[in-house]
Structures are given as structure tokens and as C-alpha cells.
Structure 1
Amino acid sequence: MEFKLRVSRVLVTGGGSGIGKAIAKALLDEGCYVCICGRNLEKLEKVKEEFGNDRLSCMQWDVRDVSLIWEKINEAASLCGGYLDGLVNNAGVYVSHHNWKPWNETEEEWDAVWDTNLKGPMFLLRKFATYLNNNHIKGNIFCVSSIESRNYNIQGSYQGSKYAFSEMVRSHAKKVLNLGIVINGICPGIVASSLNDYNAGDPTKSCALGRILSPEEIAACALFLMSDAATICCGEMLDASGGFYAAF
């Protein structure tokens, strides 16, 4: 089945590695203009050099700094040829919970996780939707959460922030669909990425699929939800975990 993307000029947060990088590559392969952003400009420039694609640009920005959102949206729009019609709201951070004792989290760790995983992405989602509406653009916002948002035994900042993010994405999506703005997302399982420290573990215990997932597999799901094949999806947070909880 062939499908057509609903986006052509896309800002990807956390695009310097892992899932963000893979989604950026998939979008480029489909002919999109893409601007990746993150805290480490050197890492972003290495991705640009690696991909060797003139439709890729990079921009330094820590999403925790919500005061810069409008400036960075406009900068990314300029880098992508004048406007944006897509956002991949992917930036996230994971802090190891001291041998799974989250009650030992420091205040600094807690704030870093919640500001990166929830505060920054939610203000970005709202202002990007406003940007689209103000410019009469029918666009797409795609959000990356975590399968841990399905774990209701919330003990630490990572699980809590991802649970809140997923729920807020669902509620916000219903408010803007009638404006032609489609918001969906994904809850990846254990992915080969620098974000987490699961990779050294036994993959047969991670999920029913019996292996660690690849960023490219998550990117394939992302493209589906940003395409016209998913027009009936609104506020959906797709579990893409290889049967993570089924393995326990």
C-alpha cells in the first residue's frame, strides 16, 4: 500500500542521535526538508556531514529553554525554505535511577528529566500548533514518548514524565484536529540508543520479540502516522515495543 506524507518541511528535536536521527533520515529519504536540533551542535553537524543531504539543516537549541521557542520555530522555518508543516517532538532524557532506587533521585535530576521530557515538549507542541494555525497551515505534530508511560507503577521521574506527556498529547490532539492539525505519537520500547542503559541486558527478557529494537523500526512507524494512511488517527500513542510487557 502506497501512502503520502502529510509533511514536507519538518523540525526534529533531539535529532542528533537515536530515534530522532533515524526519523530525520527517513523524512529526508521521502524528499522532505528537515531541520534537526539539539543541545550539542557538533553532534548535529556530524549528522549533517554523515547524511550529505542539502535538504538537511541543523540548529542548536535546548528545548528546556521555552523562552526561545518562537525564535527557534522561525529559525527552523527559514532553514527549511520559509515555513514548517511538521514537528517531530522527540527530545528526551533518561537518568539512571541508582540501581532502580528512584527515591534516591536528586532534585537536579528530577528537574532535568521533567523539563526535558514534559515542560519543553508541551510548550513546543502548543506554540507549534499556534504557528500552524496562525499561518493557515494544515500540519502534523508527532510526539515520541515511551512504553514506560504504560507502566502505572510510577516511581521515578522518567516514568512519570512520559506518562504525563502521553496523556497530554492525547488531550491536546482533540483540540486542534478541526484546524487541520494532526497530532499523534509513539511509545517505543527498548531501542538501541545512547538514551538508555538497557543495551547490555538480555534482549530475550526485554520484550516478546526477543531483541532490542532499532531506531529505524521506530522511524518506519513514525512515517505511517505522519502519512495520509493514518488520517483517522487523532491523539493516538502507538505502542511500538515488540511486546515489552508481554514478556514478563
Structure 2
Amino acid sequence: MDLQLKGKVVLVTGGSKGIGKAIAKAFKDEGAVVTIAARTKEELEKVQTEYQLDGIYQGDLSTNEGREAVFQKLINDFGTIDILINNVGGSNGSTTMETDLTLFEAAMQLNFFSAVQFSQLAIPVMREKADGVIINISSVFGRESGGKPTYNSAKAAMISFTKSLADEVIKDGIRVNGVAPGSILHPTGNWQKRLEENPEKIQAFIEQEIPAGRFGTVEEVANVVVFLASKKASWIVGASINVDGGQSRANF
């Protein structure tokens, strides 16, 4: 299927590993002009060489200044942006009562405020063309309990933000949607570490929590993202789609 993404300028935040890296590859396979942003220069350069990406941007995406600098470099290099993938994120802390407030603030900066600010930067450019796509990578734990409270709270905010922003900018020709992955296995992720530490415990988790009977793959998430970014998904607006093998227990 031709998704008609050839030549589209794409920015994937947190694109040097895991889900973001797979998303970058999927867009590159579709012929898009693909750029990624992350904190570590060496990881960015490795992915650029591996997938022949068109641009890499090093920056601290947990800060206003870092995000502004990355976006300005992108515009200086390519003059526009067609597709923004707000993927950068991470978890920290423990239970609510054992987690310092500063860690909640840090989680919001990285997972949520980064999506808000990059969207605010990209939308004026997209409005000029009356065309653009923003996709926010949240989590099934943005809809229900599970995982760390700092992460869950930030991802819940992202899901709400996705819907409100989508309704605001669809009149300008800009579609905003989200993807909510379940438990995804990849070499640099937490599930891989847990699997190596206690394979029996993780196998029990899979059998109990994931109806499909296995972890998801980064490619399975990336495939949904590129579809949502295409004109084939033109009537999907404000949705956050679970990609989880049935893991989520929410009925919506």
C-alpha cells in the first residue's frame, strides 16, 4: 500500500532508540525525509548511519530551550515540517508517597510539556500549508492504573491534550492523533531488563496480562503511526489508538 508519504518532512522526538527508532525507519521506508532528535549524539549518529536518515538533532528535550533549539535547526535545514511525532519520554520515581515532587515535574516536562511545546512550534508552519499531522505516543497506562504514577499522569495528560488539540486545529487542515502502546519489548527497554533479571516472573506477567500471549514489537507500533500519518487515515481525528495485544482493560 502506498501511503503517499514520500518527501514529507518528519521529526521524531526520542528517535534514537526503541519505538522512536522504529518509527523513523518506517517513515524512511515510505520515502519520507526523516529527522530525529534525542539527547545523546553517539546514538543519533548510529541511527542516522544505520537508516540513512536525513537529519539528526542533539538536545535536551526536557527543557524549553532545548526544544526550541532543535525545532529551529530543523526549520533552518528543511524550511518546513509536515509530520511531528511526539515520542520522547521516560519514567521515574516509585509510588506517589515515595516520589519527590520534582520527579513528577520532570516527568511532565519530558513526557507531556515536550509534546505541547513541539506542537505549538509546528502548528504555525503547518497552518501556512493548511496541512500537517501530529501524532503523540502515549501509553495504555495513560488510561488506567499500572506502572509508575509519574509516567501514568503525564501520559494521561497527553491523551487529553491529543483530543483537545485535534478539535482545535482540524479546521486548519492539521490532524492530531495518538498511539497508546502496551508492553513493548526492545533491546534498550525496561521489559528487556526485567526479562533478563527474572524470566519466570515476566512470563507469568505475559500470561496474566496480555491476551495475545506475547510482548508487542516496536515495528507493530511504528506501522500504526505511519498509517495514521497518511491520507488513508484522513477521517481519524483526536483518537488515541491502543496498540497492545489486548492488554488494556479499558472498554473504550
Give the TM-score normalised by structure 1: 0.88
Task: Give the % identical residues.
Answer: 29
Higher relative contact order, chain-length normalized (CA < 8 Å, sep 6+): 1
Cα separation, partners in 2 of 1:107 and 1:195, compared to 1, 3 Å: farther
Aligned with residue 72 of structure 2, among 71, 74, 77: 74
**1:107 to 2:107 alignment:** no
- In the other structure, the counterpart of 2:174 is 181
| Structure 2: tracts of 5 or more residues without a match | 196-201
Cα separation, partners in 2 of 1:150 and 1:235, compared to 1, 3 Å: same
Kindly provide the CA deviation profile for residues 19-77 of structure 1, in whole angstroms up to 9, marking residues without a partner as x.
100000000011111110011111111111222x1x43211122222134444223113
- The amino acid that maps onto 1:217 is E
Cα offset, 1:130, TM superposition: 2.2
Contact persistence 1:184–1:237 (CA under 8 A): yes
Number of residue pairs matched?
240
- In the other structure, the counterpart of 2:82 is 85
Secondary structure of the structure 1 residue equivalent to 2:129: coil
Cα separation, partners in 2 of 1:7 and 1:125, compared to 1, 3 Å: farther
Cα offset, 1:96, TM superposition: 5.4
Cα separation, partners in 2 of 1:10 and 1:153, compared to 1, 3 Å: closer
Cα separation, partners in 2 of 1:223 and 1:155, compared to 1, 3 Å: closer
Q: Higher helix proportion, which one?
A: 2
Contact persistence 1:11–1:34 (CA under 8 A): yes
Contact persistence 2:82–2:126 (CA under 8 A): yes
**1:149 to 2:142 alignment:** yes
| Structure 1: tracts of 5 or more residues without a match | none
Q: Structure 1 residue runs of 4+, over 6 Å off?
A: none
Q: Quote the Cα distance in structure 2 between the aligned partners of 1:137 and 1:143.
A: 20
Q: Quote the Cα distance in structure 2 between the aligned partners of 1:163 and 1:7.
A: 33
Q: Which runs of structure 2 are paired with 1:42-61 in the superposition (5 Å)?
A: 42-51=42-51, 53=52, 55-61=53-59
Contact persistence 1:7–1:226 (CA under 8 A): no
Contact persistence 2:91–2:148 (CA under 8 A): no
Kindly provide the CA deviation profile for residues 199-234 of structure 1, in whole angstroms up to 9, marking residues without a partner as x.
522222331111111101000010111111111111
More deviation, 88-97/192-201:
192-201
Contact persistence 1:6–1:139 (CA under 8 A): no
- The amino acid that maps onto 1:36 is I
- In the other structure, the counterpart of 2:242 is 239
Secondary structure of the structure 1 residue equivalent to 2:135: strand
- In the other structure, the counterpart of 2:14 is 14
- The amino acid that maps onto 1:130 is P
Give the TM-score normalised by structure 2: 0.87
- In the other structure, the counterpart of 2:198 is none
Cα offset, 1:246, TM superposition: 4.8
Contact persistence 2:142–2:153 (CA under 8 A): yes
Cα offset, 1:106, TM superposition: 2.3
Q: Quote the Cα distance in structure 1 between the aligned partners of 2:50 and 2:129.
A: 35
Q: Quote the Cα distance in structure 2 between the aligned partners of 1:162 and 1:147.
A: 8
Contact persistence 2:142–2:159 (CA under 8 A): yes
Kindly provide the CA deviation profile for residues 156-180 of structure 1, in whole angstroms up to 9, marking residues without a partner as x.
1111110011101111111111111
Cα offset, 1:155, TM superposition: 7.0
Root mean square deviation of aligned Cα: 2.3
Cα offset, 1:83, TM superposition: 1.9
